[in-house]
Amino acid sequence: MSDLKCDEIVFRPIGRVHHEAGGVPRHWSVSEVEGELVLDPCYTAGLGDIGPGERIVVLFHFHLSAPFDPALLRQNPPHRDRDLGVFSICSPRRPNPIGLSVLEVMAIDQNRIRVRGIDMFDGTPILDIKPFIATATECPSTDRRDET
């Protein structure tokens, strides 16, 4: 397994988060902050099926996090009285600093998505946007040909 760390995987931002809130809550599930996901215009055609009221999964880069350190394998999250493993919490300091937020779409205009529930800093690089799926029937490739 020790060869794993030699395998570099390179991604590039597809856009950035923009908002004017002075601060953001610690987690999307308790956030009412509104702002915009501004994508590179080259991706506009890929946003055409996202609509108001929808929940989307936004993957992003915790670009301001200090590098991971083995001492952070267990961390004490806010409001908890004991350490938890990094893979059981949402800390921005993790082996690969990828964040995941589930945001509500308010509106969409070309390459700009107005969203609510932001817990990222202004300027955060966006890596991907996916549909929020909790069950099989919500999967976009589920057979809907019988639906009217």
Among 20, 23, 69, 144, interactor with its own copies by CB under 8 A: 144
- Which CB atom, from 10 or from 20, has the smaller least distance to its own copies? 10
**What is the Cα–Cα distance from 76 to 83, expressed in whole angstroms?**
4
110: Cβ contacts below 8 Å, ≥ 6 apart: 41, 44
SS (H, E, C) 82-111: CCEEHHHCCCCCCCCCEEEEEEEEEEEECC
CA angle, 103 as apex, 129 and 101 as ends, to 5°?
Answer: 70
- Which CB atom, from 14 or from 24, has the smaller least distance to its own copies? 14
Q: Which positions from 57 through 116 interact with its own copies, judged by CB under 8 A? A: 57, 59, 61, 63, 70, 73-74, 77-81, 84-90, 94-96, 98, 100, 102
Binding status of residue 56 toward its own copies by CB under 8 A: yes
CB 14, min distance to its own copies, A = 5
Contact 134, 145 (CB under 8 A): no
Binding status of residue 49 toward its own copies by CB under 8 A: yes
CB 37, min distance to its own copies, A = 10
